[in-house]
């Protein structure tokens, strides 16, 4: 299994404590990295690549979303690859950053009738795949990325988050 160097910043009091988030993130992202290496033949560097996870709130992610994407609204997860990467390309020593907003995750979990933990797991996997160059800008990309998410989540014992939906582009 590829090793990952996960750095965490908790910027909102409503999140679980840092050790709990690190344990959960390590399990989820470790499973995603293992899946990519095994099933997609994704290369990994010999030294564990670093990624940072920022657990924040809607106000902070709205500012980031406005600055970097021109969308002045909160969102659930944002990913910022350290270097441009195509799926299957070898990452460098730094993968990038994943930023997640607590209130949006909580609200969406209720709307989707999922637990907070299950929805957070999905968003961690989604953000992680973005760091490896996967995207959902068109239907083919969305189908590929959603298929990977579904298979990774199944390995973690979670159901298909896209069941009954068209690919999200």
User: What's residue 131's pLDDT?
Assistant: 98
Residue-range domain boundaries for the chain: 5-155
- Span 84-97, mean pLDDT? 96
Q: Which of 19, 23, 26, 79 is nearest to 48 (CA)?
A: 26
Residue 167 has pLDDT above 70, yes or no: no
- Span 15-37, mean pLDDT? 97
Structure tokens at 30: 């470790």
Cβ atoms of 98 and 134 closer than 8 Å: no
Structure tokens at 96: 């990038």
Cβ atoms of 9 and 137 closer than 8 Å: no
Output the average pLDDT for the chain: 95
What is the architecture of the domain spanning 5-155? 3-Layer(aba) Sandwich (3.40)
Residue 166 has pLDDT above 70, yes or no: no
Mode of pairing for the β-strands spanning 5-10 and 50-56: parallel
- In angstroms, rounded to a whole number, what is the distance separating the alpha carbons of residues 60 and 78? 11
pLDDT in tens, 100-153: 999 999 999 999 999 999 999 999 999 999 999 999 988 899 999 999 999 999
Residue 154 has pLDDT above 80, yes or no: yes
């Amino acid at each position: 299994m590829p090793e990952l160097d996960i750095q965490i910043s908790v910027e909102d009091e409503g999140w679980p404590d840092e050790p709990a988030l690190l344990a959960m993130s390590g399990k989820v992202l470790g499973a995603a990295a293992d899946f990519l290496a095994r099933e997609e033949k994704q290369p990994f560097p010999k030294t564990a690549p670093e990624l940072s996870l920022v657990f924040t709130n809607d106000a902070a992610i709205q500012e980031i979303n406005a600055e970097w994407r021109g969308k002045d609204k909160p969102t659930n997860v944002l990913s910022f690859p350290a270097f441009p990467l195509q799926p299957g390309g070898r990452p460098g020593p730094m993968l990038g950053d994943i930023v997640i907003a607590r209130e949006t995750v909580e609200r969406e979990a209720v709307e989707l009738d999922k637990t907070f933990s299950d929805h957070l797991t999905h968003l961690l996997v989604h953000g992680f795949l973005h760091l490896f160059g996967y995207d959902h800008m068109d239907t083919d990309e969305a189908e590929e990325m959603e298929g990977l998410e579904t298979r990774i989540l199944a390995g973690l014992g979670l159901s298909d988050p896209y069941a009954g939906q068209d690919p999200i582009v």
